[in-house]
Chains A and B, each alone.
Chain A
Amino acid sequence: MHSKSQIIKMKKFTKITSKAIPLAVENVDTDQIIPARFLKATDKKGFGDNVFRDWRFDKNGVINTDFSLNNPIYTGSILIAGDNFGCGSSREHAAWALVGYGFKVIVSSFFADIFKGNALNNGLLPLQVSPKFLSVLMKTVQENPATEIEVDLENQKISIKKLEISEGFDIDPYKKTCMINGYDDIDYLVSKKEMIEAFEAQRL
């Protein structure tokens, strides 16, 4: 499906094992992930510094120590979030901010459409689990921040290693190939140019 000369734009993703950071809030919208006042940049750099800005800091820039990302006991490249993560604005800056901060996987029981697509286009895995598994995962990490989580994209499986609990997850097979190989869609579409031209010609 992709040519060998394909430019690799994204980091390849196969399997990761990491601790996780819990964010037990539902309906996290992209305005919370990256507030609009930070969207004035014309490149993709620096958004990680301002991820969840208004939850991490108050208006005077004072750190909110109650917020899980600021709690030193929680570390890792996996974010565990409540239902309907990424709703609202289409801003891809939200995905850039999460990747910039160091996240590789977001686990939730439900993702908003546009965010999901934006995440996949940036090598960030939106991993949808059942509400039951999410609840176990959230509780486990909150109670024991040292818990190691394994995300195996090839076999589409997420595991809580110590408890030997795991669950399978779905991903579009095309997008899975892209994630594993670090491909994005532009080259694929450009390679279809003749077909697109033919389509345009028959519509005239």
Chain B
Amino acid sequence: MGKTLFDKIWDSHVVDTIENGPQVLYIDKHLIHEVTSPQAFNELKERSIPVYRPNQIVATADHNTPTMDQHLPIKDALSRNQLEQLSKNCADNDITLYELGHQYNGIVHVMAPELGITQPGMTMVCGDSHTSTHGAFGAIAFGIGTSQVAQVFASQCLLLTKPKSLRVTVNGTLKKGVLPKDVILYIISKLGTNSGTGYFCEYAGDVFENMSMEGRMSVCNMSIEMGARGGMIAPDETTFEYIKGRKFAPQGESFDKKVTYWKTLPSDDDAVFDQEYTFDAADIAPMLTYGTNPGMGIKITETIPTDENPSFKKSLEYMNFEAGASLINQPINYVFIGSCTNSRIEDFRVAADYIKGKQKAKNVTAWLVPGSKQVETQIIEEGLKAIFDEAGFELRQPGCSACLAMNDDKIPKGEYCVSTSNRNFEGRQGQGSRTILASPLVAAATAIEGKIIDITKHLN
């Protein structure tokens, strides 16, 4: 029997297997940030265990950073302390840190791929559930808790039970106005928020083969929203082309050698998956969520379904939506384009393309938050900032921002926010805030109109 992409990488990283128990899995790259690492550093210190392989760890500050005036000292004492701790821990342990203001600083799942740190065939972890993003390169990448961060610090390994395999195939051609974000919101709306639990998911078919690396990252990013620890897409020429020449990518002959290896990674034709789902690209439309988990999604033209489940009703009550209602013409006062799902240059190009020559609606506060310093620079250099400025949008500095509202970027109580982020949980974007997940195109159109519109009728 053939092997899956996942099997090939997993099996080549097993150091040992405990009888009737988990396996010791070797981790190639460990990404860390300020929120989930301090307690792990403390743990090692208390037990007098040194960091085993500091050169395989890369750190950035992203979750708890301001998106304005980053050159000034951080006002909030707790946030400032958390960043200072990260700097100290990295300095004490010889770990590379791209701190606030550094040219390579950014959201961990945006900066690592753009620097060529993320590569096919790797095992990668980070104390953040959206680590699944890096699977877009054909890597095994998944989020871990802080105890596990400490384990990787101590041994560069984790004790894990091999997950089951799942493949989601989407074939056909996507309709105009349907973005990678819509594809993954559609898949989650069909499969539900826990269908992937216990599995690693491979995305296959024309739709993903024809997708850019940035689109693939948006898809893999949200694998955790259907419960899957990770998502993966087979590496191909698009992948190799993206990596080539990036700062930490292998160079010259070494790159060619790696490509030869990377080409052996895709799932064998006769590989068998524990679970398979297939969808038709023609059925996918621009999507919106209406509830308080990412599985509660509909096509923009559909109405909110009816369900007697008390948790479903509680969710609609929180959102102040009625079963059977349409979201078209719903007034919206906040729009957020950002997060590790949609804060890369292509996302801002899509938004700018739609916004150009139009004006933001007066009732809307629209925040554009790039995923990294490099994306921010690109936005300026490509002239997108000028378009955003003229239309009345606010381009902020990089960070996780209003995706989780740990910093000051919070949506007020009771307000709706059409957001390109990944979670619409209660209060996720601020206490009492109501999140509607969408693509950067739908978010941009909402900001222009001040309400949700059927984007499919507004495309040239």
Contact = CB atoms under 8 A, between A and B. Distances in A.
Interface of A: 1, 7, 24-27, 29, 31-32, 35-37, 39-44, 54, 59, 82-84, 87-93, 95, 110-114, 117-118, 121-122, 172-174, 184-186, 188-190, 192-193, 195-196, 199-200
Given A37-B406, A42-B81, A113-B197, A26 B26 contact: no
B171 interface: no
A34 to B, nearest CB: 11
Contact of B406 (A39, A90, A172): A39
Contact of B129 (A32, A42, A90): A90
Residue of A32, A91, A185 with most chain B CB atoms under a 10 A cut-off = A185
Contacts of A89: 128-129, 404, 423
Contacts of B314: 25
B301 interface: no
A59 to B, nearest CB: 5
A193 B82 CA distance: 31
B404 A36 contact: yes
21 contacts: A25-B314, A31-B404, A31-B428, A32-B427, A40-B35, A40-B76, A40-B79, A42-B38, A95-B145, A110-B194, A110-B197, A113-B163, A118-B146, A174-B21, A174-B22, A186-B155, A188-B159, A192-B15, A196-B156, A199-B15, A199-B26
B151 interface: yes
B333 interface: no
Contact of A90 (B21, B128, B157, B159): B128
B18 A83 contact: no
Given A89-B129, A196-B155, A184 B147 contact: yes
B278 interface: no
A43 B428 contact: no
Contacts of B326: none
Contact of A37 (B18, B157, B405, B423): B405
A67 to B, nearest CB: 12
Contact of B148 (A42, A121, A172): A121
A84 B193 contact: yes
A117 B148 contact: yes
B26 A122 contact: no
Given A186-B151, A195-B15, 8 more contacts: A35-B427, A37-B406, A88-B129, A90-B36, A90-B129, A114-B229, A189-B159, A196-B15
B154 interface: yes
Nearest to A110: B194
A121 B147 contact: yes
Residue of A90, A185, A189 with most chain B CB atoms under a 10 A cut-off = A90
B209 interface: no
Contacts of B427: 31-32, 35, 54
Contacts of B227: 84, 87, 112-113
Given A29-B293, A117-B148, A196-B15, A189 B157 contact: yes
A113 B229 contact: yes
A121 to B, nearest CB: 4
Given A7-B47, A199-B26, A43 B21 contact: no
Interface string B405-416: 110000001000
B460 interface: no
Interface string B31-46: 0000110110011000
Contact of B127 (A36, A90, A95, A190): A90
B145 A117 contact: yes
A189 B78 contact: no
Nearest to B20: A173
B39 A29 contact: no
Interface string B251-288: 00000000000000000000000000000000000000
A41 B413 contact: no
B16 interface: yes
B9 interface: no
A90 B144 contact: yes
Contacts of A112: 194, 197, 227
Contact of B309 (A26, A184, A195): A26
A172 B22 CA distance: 8
A174 B229 contact: no
Residue of B24, B158, B309 with most chain A CB atoms under a 10 A cut-off = B24
Contact of B194 (A43, A44, A87, A121): A87
B432 interface: yes
B198 interface: yes
B49 interface: yes
Nearest to A28: B311
Contacts of A174: 18, 20-22, 159
Interface in B217-233: 224, 227, 229
A137 B47 CA distance: 41
A113 B200 CA distance: 11
A25 B311 contact: yes
A192 B24 contact: yes
Contacts of A196: 15, 24, 26, 52, 155-157
A114 B127 CA distance: 10
A46 B13 CA distance: 38
A114 B225 CA distance: 12
B154 A186 contact: yes
Contacts of A37: 405-406
Given A31-B423, A37-B406, A121-B145, A190 B81 contact: no
